[in-house]
Chain A
Amino acid sequence: EAQVTQNPRYLITVTGKKLTVTCSQNMNHEYMSWYRQDPGLGLRQIYYSMNVEVTDKGDVPEGYKVSRKEKRNFPLILESPSPNQTSLYFCASSIRQGAREKLFFGSGTQLSVL
């Protein structure tokens, strides 16, 4: 089954404790992206990747890191989480970054930073 798999689904952590949210897709997609979704602010892009070893900042990259060592995986790293990073996170992928390409989303990670 074609899918984007995110883990964990829920995560509660404390300020400053490094964490990684994993994202994997099995569709051989070139393009992958991370979003966060907050009430009143909608979906905002954190980082994106056009292909292996090609990543770039989105609209809200501060406090986040990503890597794309393999085509299928695009982990999101919070080196020192802070409470303002409490949010619902989505990973997404598409076959390429084209005008009409459909985005496939993972099921989301609800992160709470205490």
Chain B
Amino acid sequence: RKEVEQDPGPFNVPEGATVAFNCTYSNSASQSFFWYRQDCRKEPKLLMSVYSSGNEDGRFTAQLNRASQYISLLIRDSKLSDSATYLCVVRAGAGGAGNNRKLIWGLGTSLAVNP
């Protein structure tokens, strides 16, 4: 089983739609969770951190379910500019080698928002 798993998609949705992505992780000791956005062949950029109580940033809502070991990202009122790959990222918990509590990257979920 991969440490971080995402549905690769692609998700094709019309403008204005609501779309949700899930990501599962295997290490129950994982400490921190993030969603990064990556446009084709460009650098990843942090979209939002994911907090235990869930958090919202404009049209984006992230949630964490520690019991089931998954995080989710909800995008409301999709825009054409939301078309990108969304990377789920998990930071390993205590006990990692040295001080490098490394980030484990999912392969990403591709989203295409269509006019």
Q: Which of A50, A90, A99 contacts B44 (CB 8 A)?
A: A90
Task: Tell whether A42 pairs with B43 under 8 Å between CB atoms, given A50-B99, A56-B98, A99-B91.
Answer: no
- Residues of chain A in range 46-64 having any CB-CB distance to chain B below 8 Å: 48, 50, 56, 58-59
* Segment at the A interface, from B16-24, B68-76, B102-110: B102-110
Q: Is A77 an interface residue (CB 8 A)?
A: no
Task: Tell whether A97 pairs with B101 under 8 Å between CB atoms, given A105-B43, A105-B45.
Answer: yes
B9-52 contact mask (Cβ, 8 Å, vs A): 1 or 0: 00000000000000000000001100000000111111001000
Q: Is A107 an interface residue (CB 8 A)?
A: yes
List chain B residues, Cβ under 8 A from A45.
102-103
How many residues on A have C-beta within 8 angstroms of the other chain's C-beta atoms?
23
Q: Which of A40, A50, A56, A102 contacts B46 (CB 8 A)?
A: A102
CB-based contact B108/A42 at 8 Å:
yes
How many residues on B have C-beta within 8 angstroms of the other chain's C-beta atoms?
21
Q: Which of B45, B100, B105, B106 contacts A97 (CB 8 A)?
A: B100
Q: Is A88 an interface residue (CB 8 A)?
A: yes
A82-114 contact mask (Cβ, 8 Å, vs B): 1 or 0: 000000101000000101101101111010000
Distance in angstroms from B47 CB to nearest chain A CB is 11
